[in-house]
């Protein structure tokens, strides 16, 4: 389940946010990707700063709605395919959008992506975490292990 919000000004006119406080309902990257596809969509591809801001506003509205939303990152459709660990300086260029979009827009948190065994990307949403070197852990992107539950 999730909250569907529609706008007319972006290429994708509708977005669906799914947030589960119950940790047992959170899923890994491939499970999230499949759930979106079954629902007729795709994990989010962010193509511009304006679209990033739209999503941030949607998450802020969700937080203000009194739903009790707390820390919990959101999968987006950016990932790095291929076998083995990527450790070269070219690693950031290996990430691609799951839906085939070719947007070069990125919103990495400071010192991300860290690469290695982390190949799938989340949008941070940790309002209770103490800020790090890159500021609060809110809305910037972080690569994570694909089997993590978000």
The three-state secondary structure class of 8 is coil
Q: pLDDT tens across 15-55, in order?
A: 888 877 778 889 999 999 999 999 888 999 999 999 999 99
- What does pTM read for this prediction? 0.88
Are the CB atoms for 52 and 139 separated by under 8 Å?
yes
Domains of the chain: 2-144 (3.10.100.10)
* Closest among 118, 136, 111 to 126, alpha carbons compared: 136
């Amino acid at each position: 389940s999730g909250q569907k919000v529609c706008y007319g000004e972006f290429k994708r006119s509708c977005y669906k946010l799914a947030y589960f406080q119950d940790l047992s309902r959170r899923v890994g990257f491939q499970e999230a990707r499949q759930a979106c596809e079954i629902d007729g969509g795709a994990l989010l591809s962010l193509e511009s700063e304006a679209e990033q801001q739209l999503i941030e506003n949607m998450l802020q509205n969700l937080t203000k709605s009194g739903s009790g939303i707390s820390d919990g990152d959101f999968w987006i459709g950016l990932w790095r395919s291929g076998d083995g660990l990527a450790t070269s300086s070219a690693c950031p260029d290996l990430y691609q959008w799951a839906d085939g979009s070719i947007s070069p827009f990125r919103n990495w948190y400071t010192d991300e992506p860290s690469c290695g065994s982390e190949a799938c990307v989340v949008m941070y949403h940790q309002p209770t975490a103490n800020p790090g070197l890159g500021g609060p852990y809110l809305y910037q992107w972080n690569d994570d292990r694909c089997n993590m539950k978000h």
